[in-house]
Amino acid sequence: MSASGLRVRPRLAEGGRVSQRSKPNGDNPVRNAVRFPMRLAIHVCTEEGDIEAVTENISANGLLFVSDRLPEIDSKIEFTITMPSAVMGSSTDVTIHCRGRVVRHAFENGEKKAAAVIDEYFLKA
């Protein structure tokens, strides 16, 4: 366990290097999902317009992303993530279209961040 209270487990990252994935302690099952640190460009569609963003981490239940402009908390969003083949263990990249909602904002290290829950997802061929 790290000093921040996160359980860490090594995983194989891009280029074969070992990096850390983290799982926070607590009782909220959504916030307890294992998070994989990945910086991937995403295009977020909101009712107020489209936003370009970069993921900071991704889990089975949601993601944390960074952007200059954040959707409002409780707003519905749609986005598409292209997961690299090395991460997915497949021969090709996997594209996933997601629908969800923004659940919180954070301002850390000079960056605006939004956490979103994934309510449903569809694999794209």
Q: Sorting pLDDT into bands at 50, 70 and 90, what band is 89? A: confident
Least-confidence region, from 22-36, 54-68, 82-96: 22-36
Question: What is the residue extent of each domain of the chain?
Answer: 35-124
Average pLDDT over residues 83-94: 89
Give me the CATH code for the 35-124 domain, please: 2.40.10.220
Measured CA to CA, the distance from residue 51 to residue 67 in angstroms comes to: 8
**Segment 18-57, tens digit of pLDDT:** 334 444 445 554 556 788 899 999 999 999 999 999 999 9
Task: Supply the pLDDT for residue 71.
Answer: 97
Measured CA to CA, the distance from residue 119 to residue 100 in angstroms comes to: 5
What is the pTM (predicted TM-score) of this model?
Answer: 0.72
Tokens of 18: 């070992």
Task: Supply the pLDDT for residue 1.
Answer: 42
76-83 and 94-108 strand pairing: antiparallel
Give me Rg for the CA atoms of the chain: 15
